[in-house]
Amino acid sequence: MRAFQLLLSPLPCLSLLLALIFPSTSQNYDEFRKKHIDSRTNKKHNNQYCNTIMEQKINRDTGTCRKVNTFIHAPEKVVVILCRRIPNAMKTSTKKFSLTICKLQRKRGQRCTYKAKNEFRRIEIKCEDSLPVHFCGDVPPVKDKHWRERGGGWELLSVSDQIKCE
């Protein structure tokens, strides 16, 4: 009887209601792997690659066109090793990874068209329980991440533009 009263108390009901209204935006390792790891490393990836992989791995589940997504071309275990001995923290890789950045160019109905950009850069990820769970960004050649490429040069990011990983 006491357990039944506890279930009907306002706090558990409010928690359930909030969870339904505001679902968690946290991501786990399986979602990270699906969204960001593609171990095919043998060639440069083009626009058709982005159109196909974005449909297969990202957009099909959401029913919308994601604006941008980065794929890391490395074996899964190489990416996981970055979080070894780091239970819950941000990690910037020391080695560079082959990346494909797929950026939405246009949407017509349910059809999403992407432009591919291939990079070879260090990456920044968020680790939880010694596993990667969020891709925070690629690190520009300049060591200070407060700068970004612009018009063939570099510009200082304002505080609001600086890369954040949530």
The tens digit of pLDDT for each residue in 55-65 reads 999 888 888 89
Chain center to CA of 148: 19
Domain-located, residue 152: no
Q: What is the total count of domains within the chain?
A: 1
Pairing of strands 68-73, 88-92: unpaired
Domain-located, residue 1: no
**Amino acid 77: pLDDT:** 94
Residues 147 and 150: their CA atoms lie apart, in Å, by 9
Set 45, 73, 134, 146: catalytic member: 134
- Of residues 7 and 92, the one with the higher pLDDT is 92
Domain-located, residue 16: no
Let me know: does 62 contact 84? Beta carbons within 8 Å: no
Let me know: does 128 contact 100? Beta carbons within 8 Å: no
Residues 10 and 30: their CA atoms lie apart, in Å, by 34
Domain-located, residue 17: no
**Amino acid 110: pLDDT:** 77
Tens of pLDDT, residue by residue over 116-151, are 999 999 999 999 999 999 999 998 776 455 555 555
Domain-located, residue 147: no
Set 36, 45, 73, 146: catalytic member: 36
Domain-located, residue 5: no
Annotation says 36 is catalytic: yes
48 lies in which domain range?
29-140
Domain-located, residue 63: yes
- Of residues 39 and 24, the one with the higher pLDDT is 39
CATH of the domain at 46: 3.10.130.10
Domain-located, residue 150: no
Q: How many CA atoms lie within 13 A of 67 on its CB side?
A: 0
